[in-house]
Structure 1
Amino acid sequence: MIITVLHSPVSFYSIILSFLFFHGSDGATITIVNRCSFTVWPGILSNSGSGDIGTTGFELVPGDSRSFQAPASWSGRFWARTGCNFNSDTGRGQGTCLTGDCGSNQVECNGAGAKPPATLAEFTIGSGPEDPARKQDFYDVSLVDGYNVPMLVEASGGSEGTCQTTGCVTDLNQKCPTELRFGSGSACKSACEAFGSPEYCCSGAYAAPTECKPSMYSEIFKSACPRSYSYAFDDATSTFTCTDADYTITLCPYLPSQKSAANGWRDGGGLAETSSSPLSTWLSDVFTSDSSNVQSSQYLLIFSIFLLCQF
């Protein structure tokens, strides 16, 4: 019976059509998985001119997932809202969120973006085989607007690109410098959000890659999450490409290597800090007010400066 069904013309063409719908020129399937121990309310913002993917916000309980079909040439971003207090009307409930709030006062964000700080997953889906020059997808995880939850983006079934996993699996809320902490520590602001200075925001006289350089704060983000955007012009190590792929966004991802002292973070493929140089460790300790290692690191820093002065 099974063989008969699999070889029937209707079933065969159904399988082909299904494959084309989810993998062909129609774009990409993007799945959001919640592995956090708490409920989140993902928000979705489609860029101007992009097609609709069905919703702009929804509730996602721990262990649940939801998939969307992003059409060809779609671009936009996903993020997690946390600490929300929407009323019992799940579809149209009114309320606000502690982090990532989009200001709509509803579960749906209705075309509004996340209020910083929030971890962002950003996508530009290729146009498909009709335009070979633009068939690649571009994706990244950005901390430019700050951080609220760990996030991982994985490509599957793709080709012709890096197709690498990217994201930030480190709990930056635990490493956040005091002056960047949001509220009681539920999120970590970017330096731009915290201070508003052009040199941190890459604006005004600093609105060019040659003028806007990494700051001591963005370096802390980059050290913790090497593949994520740490500031506006962090393109070289933070943007990834793939063709004809589907994508999974995992919130609060679990990586076995996090509990392996022998492997450290190496199994994370550069998604989180592997090992820090004494200088970067000292900087992190200073700006996170961790005084336990500062004194010994100061001696090392002074010695390093002494050596540099000999050249």
Structure 2
Amino acid sequence: MAAHSFVFCSCYASFIFLLICKGILGSTFTFKNRCDYMVWPGILSSAGSTPLDSTGFELNPGESRSFQASPGWSGRFWGRTGCAFDANGQGTCKTGDCGSNQISCNGAGAIPPATLAEFTIGSGSGTGSNPLDFYDVSLVDGYNLPMAIDASGGTGACGSTGCVTDLNRMCPSELKAGDGQACKSACEAFGNEEYCCSGSFGSPDTCRPSVYSEIFKSACPRSYSYAYDDATSTFTCTSADYTITFCPASTSQKSSTDPSTPTSTGTPNAPPMIPRAPMPEDDPSGSSWLPSFAIGGSSRRTSHNVLTWTPISFLVLYFFQL
């Protein structure tokens, strides 16, 4: 019986050790390109955050790539499109360009308009730290391509968010950028304090949704549509990994009915997640996208499958020895 107790204690200790490792390692970000064209993701780490292993790279259709972020990391991601780089990696992009004239953005952010994924990863569970991750998809700086964020392996609400509607096709003419490959925010297009939530409109009480931000919000109800659109646009999770998908389909695997309602990660039959505005040519029998997290990642990643199956395997072994 003592041997059985030792096995059980070992199982429990191993499980706790894996959870601690997850807290130490932070989160894994995986970028997936489901567009039918190449995307060049850009990465900007906030001041004080340990930079990721890249600040910009190319991602072919169907490809994915992962990066490890340390606890407390914060920053933003976006997709650049219509890029042309020479053999030396020199060039520019039609949308989302960061002005570095290189594939790497080297600490520069996206030039609007661009769809942004913004993250602050929890700093741990010690004294004075915050274990919560905060994330959102923002259209405050305009829009250039569809994007979605899905969390895996975390605890809490961990809702999926994003903008899966092609806003370029419903962009008002006064907001269209270039040849219609991006859609400006009203702030960028007109520069008014009312649209920019600045000056006398620089507070939640004075800056209200505009007719333009309402267009964005109607099409992408879970994304930031203007600066103070916090209530329905900021999401939280604890100890999760995240997949950022360019050009996702109209549905995902988690419920979108209530952002504050906890949802179980990886539920195969959960209702559709990210609603989008209907398009005239939409096929009523169109397919749904169910994201898969079984993809390559950083060698430092602690797999959530391991976290799930390790204690189960140990328990099975324990009962077999009874």
Match of 2:215 among 214, 220, 224: 220
Q: Deviations over 1:174-221 (max 9, x none)?
A: 110010011111010000010011100001111100010000000000
What aligned pairs does 1:13-92 form with structure 2 within 5 A after superposition?
21=21, 23-89=22-88
User: Which SS does the other structure have where 1:134 is aligned?
Assistant: coil
In the alignment, is residue 121 of structure 1 matched against residue 113 of structure 2?
no
- Counterpart-to-counterpart distance in 1, 2:92 and 2:201: 34
Cα distance in 2 for residues equivalent to 1:256 and 1:111: 33
1:270 is displaced (CA, Å) by 4.2
TM-score (ref. length: structure 1): 0.76
3-state SS, counterpart of residue 95 of structure 2: coil
Opposite residue 102 of structure 2, the aligned amino acid is Q
Report deviation, 1:40: 0.8
Deviation string for 1:22-76 (max 9, x for gaps)? x323210010000100111100000111111111000111100110111111000
- Do the aligned partners of 2:58 and 2:103 also contact (CA within 8 Å) in 1? yes
1:169 aligns with 2:169: no
Which of structure 1's runs of 4+ aligned residues deviate more than 3 A?
A: 13-21
Q: Name the aligned partner's letter for residue 119 of structure 1.
A: T
- Could you tell me how far 1:254 is from its partner in structure 2? 2.2
Are the counterparts in 2 of residues 26 and 128 from structure 1 also a CA contact under 8 Å? no
Q: Which amino acid aligns with 1:177?
A: P
Q: Percent identity, aligned pairs only?
A: 65
Alpha-carbon distance, 1:80 to partner? 0.3
1:232 is matched with which residue: 227, 231, 235?
A: 227
Distance 2:43 2:63 in 1: 17
C-alpha contact 1:25 1:127 (8 A) present in aligned 2:
no
Among 93, 108, 112, which residue is 2:108 paired with?
Answer: 112
CA contact (8 A) 2:34 2:247 kept: yes
Kindly indicate whether the alpha-carbon contact (under 8 Å) linking 1:25 and 1:129 is maintained by their aligned counterparts in 2: no
Matches for 1:287-306 after TM superposition, within 5 Å: none
Task: Provide the alpha-carbon RMSD of the alignment.
Answer: 2.4
Runs of 5+ unmatched residues, structure 1: 1-12, 258-265, 276-311
Tell me the secondary structure at the aligned position of residue 24 of structure 1: helix
Deviation at 1:132, TM superposition (A): 6.9
Structure 1 residues 18 and 97: alpha-carbon distance in aligned structure 2, compared to 1, 3 A threshold: farther
Within 5 A, what are the aligned runs for 1:127-138?
A: 127-131=123-127, 134-138=130-134
Deviation at 1:19, TM superposition (A): 7.2
Name the structure 2 match of 1:269: 273
Query: 2:39, 2:59 within 8 Å by CA — same for their partners in 1?
Result: yes
1:192-211 alignment runs, 5 A limit: 192-211=187-206
Greater helix share, structure number: 1
Q: 1:270–1:107: structure 2 CA closer, same or farther, 3 Å change rule?
A: closer
Rounded Cα–Cα distance in structure 2 between residues aligned with 1:256 and 1:184: 28
Structure 1 pair 256–165 and aligned structure 2 pair: CA distance change class (3 A): closer
Q: For the residues of structure 1 that align with 2:251 and 2:207, how far apart are their CA atoms?
A: 37
Alignment partners' CA distance in 2, 1:111 and 1:51: 12
State the Cα distance separating 1:248 from its structure 2 match: 0.2
Amino acid at match of 1:210: D
Q: Tell me, yes or no, if the aligned pair for 2:250 and 2:274 is still in contact at 8 Å.
A: no
Task: Return the letter of the residue paired with 2:275.
Answer: L
Deviation at 1:15, TM superposition (A): 11
**Structure 1 residue 14 displacement after superposition:** 11
Residues 1:94 and 2:90 are matched in the alignment: yes
The whole-number CA distance in structure 2 between the counterparts of 1:272 and 1:250 is 15
Secondary structure in structure 1 of the residue aligned to 2:47:
coil
